Structure formats: C-alpha cells, structure tokens
Amino acid sequence: MRRILLRRFAQIIPLILGVIVLNFALIQMSPGSFLDVMTAEQQVSDPAMIERMRVLYGMDKPVIIQLLKYIWSVLTLDFGYSYRQNETVLAVIMQALPATVILMLASIAIALLVGVLAGVVAAVKVNTLWDNLISVGAVFFFAAPTFWLGIMLMIVFSVRLGWLPVGGMRDIGVDHGVIGIALDVMRHLALPALSLGLFYAAMYTRVMRASMLEVFRHDFVRTARAKGLSGAQVVVRHVFRNALLPVVTLLGLQLGTVLGGSVVIETVFSWPDIGSLMLDSVMSRNYPVVLGVLVLSSLIVAVANALVDIAYFRLDPRIRAR
C-alpha cells in the first residue's frame, strides 16, 4: 500500500514538468507579450526603453534558457512576479485561491450528499413516483444553466425573502471574531454553493442510480437476501459500497476542475475567484500568473487523482490485490 502511494505521488513530478513545458511552449507561440500590453497601456513608445525592459524581464535570453530558469524557480516555489498587481505571482494566486477552494469544496460536498442520497432513493424505489420525481429533478438541474439557477436562487432567497446576501464573500464591517467571520462567509457561500452543488448533484444522482441498479442485479445481493437481511441492510451493507466506485471516479474528474469550474457562478455572485484572475491575466498577457495558475491546477488535479486512487483501494479489495 505504502509503496503504491509513493509511486503514485512520484508520478506527479514528471506530470507537472510536462505541464510547465507544454504551457510554456504554447505561450511562446502565441503572438504578443505582456510588454506590448504594458507599453501600450502606459503609452511607452521609446524603443530603447522597451529594449531595456526586455532585458530586465529576461526576455532577450533564448527560450530554452527562459524555460529552464522558470522550472528552477518553480522548484523553489517562486512563480515569478506580476507587474500588474505589483506582487509575487504566488501571493496573487493565494489571495484568490481560498475563496475558490471553499466554494468548490462546499458545492462538491452538497453535490455528493444530495446526489448519492437521491441516487440511492431512486434506485431503491425504481420505477415509482419517487424515482420519476428524482429523475426529472436531476434532468432539470443538469439542463438548467448554472448562472440562471444562481440568479433564480438569488431572486428568491436574497431579493424576495431577504434571507441571504446577494453576492460577495464578506459583509463590510462585520468582525465578531473567528466564529462571526465564519458564519458571515457561510451566509454568503450558501447560494453560490447551492447553485453549483445542485448542478453537480444531478450528475451524481444519475451515476449513483445506474450504479445501484447494476449492483442490485448481482448474485451476492440475492445471497444477502437469502440470509434474511432486511431491505435496508442489503442496500446499506451490500449494494451501497459496491455502487460507490463510479461515483468516486466522477468525483476525481470533478476535483480536477476545482480551479476553473466555477467561473460563471463566481461572476454571478461576485465571489472573489481564481477564474476571473486567470481570464484577466490571459487578456493582459500576464503570463507569469497564467503559468502559475496552470501549474497549481495541474498540481491539484494530480493530487486529487492520487486521492481517488487511495479511495479505490479502500473501497475495493480487488484493486488492492493488483
């Protein structure tokens, strides 16, 4: 087990190197550099000045040297400097990262909870009113655009009922210690997390339902019933765990989209986020930030996949044996 884990994590390093090289090459190939944007915005037209900045930012060196320098600095956790925010790239990303991670984790938690439960109920009550209601609900939440869902939730809960804030992450001027801040963030988090969560929950519902129904057909379920177990015992002890694997696969895929999957909702609820930082950085050719975000998200994807593999191991002894 430990050896497999070590191997799994060792695989992350070449993966990240690959991501760096690929993205670096892509950026080199795309026309224009941040110097163009910068000089245009500042209305600098002196060629000598531009040349000096080229040297300053190391852009006069051969591409391969730039790449090697970048890889080295990433290894020392230095992602470069963002002239736009006038801060290190790492600091810029770290400002946006927690909000995005909180939102995504909250919505994935909602999705897992709601989706798995609804899927189990739909499978147990297959072809009944319950099943149909859940299936229709799943199709609805899956088909409805998340921004529309977000706006509708906002209209109902914020505008009409006035229970929850319309957007943002914190109320200005609220400071009642750690608990006060946490409660405040949770109030702001509820609607965006719900609109994203319900969308993802629809997927989990479908997958869980199908997976449960498939497991129900296995012989060992009949054996379990032949032992005299009650319906609930059969579902919980024998079907549920076997049905969970596809859901874990989906979860792994989804954890990989943590940094980019919520741009729309974050915009609707003006949630401070990494998606708009990324967009802004691409538009302004702020490539150190772009590269930084890409490297970080590849790291998150790789770690999420490793975690999913561990979950597989824990869930299914047959995978452990291989």
Partner 1 sequence: MALIDAPPLTPLPPAPALLSVSDLEVTLFTRAGQLKAVDRLSLEVAAGETLAIVGESGCGKSISALALMRLLPEPPAKITGGSVRLAGRDLTRLSEGEMQRVRGKDLAMIFQDPMSALNPVLTVGRQIVEVIARHDPASHRAMQARALELMRKVRIPDAERRFNDYPHQLSGGMNQRIVIAMAIACQPKVLVADEPTTALDVTIQAQILDLMKELQAETGMGLIIITHDLGVVAETADRVLVMYAGRKVEDGTVDAVFDRPLHPYTRGLMGATPSATLQPHGRLAEIPGSVPALADLPAGCAFNNRCPIAFARCFAERPGLTMPAPARSVACFAVEQEGVRHGDPVGA
Q: What is the contact surface with partner 1 in residues (CB under 8 A)? A: 218-220, 222-231, 233, 237-238, 241-242, 315-318, 321
Q: In terms of C-beta density within 10 A (0-12 exposed, 13-18 middle, 19 or more buried), how is residue 195 classed?
A: buried
Residue holding tokens 């915005």? 41
Q: Smallest gap, in angstroms, from Cβ of residue 271 to partner 1? A: 39
Q: Smallest gap, in angstroms, from Cβ of residue 28 to partner 1? A: 49
CB atoms within 10 A of CB 75: 11
Strands 87-88 and 81-82: antiparallel
In terms of CB distance, is 52 or 218 closer to partner 1?
A: 218
In terms of CB distance, is 249 or 267 closer to partner 1?
A: 249
Q: In terms of C-beta density within 10 A (0-12 exposed, 13-18 middle, 19 or more buried), how is residue 64 classed?
A: exposed
Q: Smallest gap, in angstroms, from Cβ of residue 8 to partner 1? A: 21
Among residues 180, 301, 188, 201, the alpha carbon closest in space to that of 252 is found at 301
CB atoms within 10 A of CB 43: 6
In terms of CB distance, is 86 or 230 closer to partner 1?
A: 230
Task: State whether residue 81 is helix, strand or coil.
Answer: strand
In terms of CB distance, is 130 or 142 closer to partner 1?
A: 130
In terms of CB distance, is 84 or 238 closer to partner 1?
A: 238
Q: Smallest gap, in angstroms, from Cβ of residue 206 to partner 1? A: 23
Q: Smallest gap, in angstroms, from Cβ of residue 229 to partner 1? A: 6
